[in-house]
Amino acid sequence: MRKAMTFKTRLLAVAAVGVALALPMSASAHRGWMVPAFTTLSGDSAWVTVDAAISNELFYADHRAMRTDGVKVIAPDGAADKIQNAATGQYRSTFDVQLTKPGTYKIYTASNTVMASWTENGEVKRFRGSPEDFAKQVPAGAADLKTIKSSSRNETFVTRDKPTLEALKPTGQGLELVAVTHPTDVIATEAATFKFVIDGKPAAGLEVTFVPGGSRWRASPGEIKVKSGPDGAVTFTLPEAGMYWVNANVRSGETMRGGPGMGGAPGAAPAPATPLAGDGMSASYTAVIEAQRP
């Protein structure tokens, strides 16, 4: 027989529900990150190990590992470099980068995708792929052409000896950070400035969020939100030393990722293609930076 709930038990249950409701929604979001063991170091034979995961808590690997096959490295002279000793577990991936040259390295993943629909000989056609394949496969001046472009970028930065800027040059695709304050030169309690561009142009009115790591042990996530000016610049002050997750997103028009007409159920006849509802774009930027001790 079930025992009646005591008054004390009822109070505890109500309190637990209240705490759950009070938790911020962002605490349950899955966020991708790459965290280097160091962001500044020196020495001719320097190496850095990077943890990479997708998690609920920053920077605590509690959801799933980030794949490493798309991770790229740009060396201080702008040349492509590579990760080494990559390993993937259930909740976290790790890899090393050898810092053979002095200066700043950018470690990143990036993707750019185009969805399109158009009419050809009275039939709706659909495309989904890279911008390069779009240019090759979709006829120039196609009738009723609609496109939805999406891009995402996830970065972190490591400097050996002195900071440099060559590896940080924007590509002109998607949402990107342009260093005003160098990302490995951010100092806790001191004002710093980043500039953001979208497809090479200033990202005005962009909301940028900075979240310190260790939220698992805090009552609130400690988010800092700032909005960019007409030139895409944001000025911010990080209150404490440590690692911070940086995030910004841009959306306009249609942003659906799938949609009808891309195929039917497995084994079934392909569904007729249907046109996209309209043009649109979405872009996201994520980085991990360290605020150094003053």
pLDDT of residue 271: 54
First to last CA, the chain: 63
- Give the separation between CA 77 and CA 59, rounded to whole angstroms: 30
In a domain, 269, yes or no: no
pLDDT over 60 (residue 6)? no
Burial degree of 187 (CB within 10 A; 0-12, 13-18, 19+): middle
Report d(CA 219, CA 19) in Å as an integer: 10
> What's the confidence (pLDDT) of residue 87?
96
Residue 97 lies in a domain: no
Most confident of 39-43, 57-61, 165-169: 165-169
Q: Which token pair is 194?
A: 């980043």
- Higher local confidence (pLDDT), 215 or 287: 287
In this prediction, residues 256-270 reach a mean pLDDT of 47
232 vs 237: CA distance, rounded Å: 17
55 burial (CB, 10 Å; 0-12 / 13-18 / 19+) is buried
Any domain includes 19 = no
- For residue 66, give the amino acid letter: M
For range 243-258, the mean pLDDT: 83
| Dihedral sign computed on CA atoms, order 228, 232, 235, 239 | positive
* Mean local confidence (pLDDT), 16-32: 49
What is the structure's pLDDT at 21? 33
Let me know if residue 179 belongs to a domain. Answer: yes
* 152 inside domain: yes
Residue 193 resides in a domain: yes
User: Rounded CA gap, 159 and 183, in Å?
Assistant: 9
- Please tell me the least confidently modeled range out of 133-137, 178-182, 201-205, 225-229: 133-137
CATH code of residue 159? 2.60.40.10
Q: 1: which 2 tokens?
A: 């027989």
Q: How far apart are CA 54 and CA 91, in angstroms?
A: 8
Q: Which residue has the higher pLDDT, 62 or 203?
A: 203
Q: Which domain holds residue 231?
A: 71-82+105-112+148-254+281-291
Is 61 domain-assigned? no
**Total domain count for the chain?**
1
Residue 52 lies in a domain: no
Phi, psi of 28 (to 5 degrees): -100, 5
Instruction: Look up the pTM and report it.
Output: 0.82
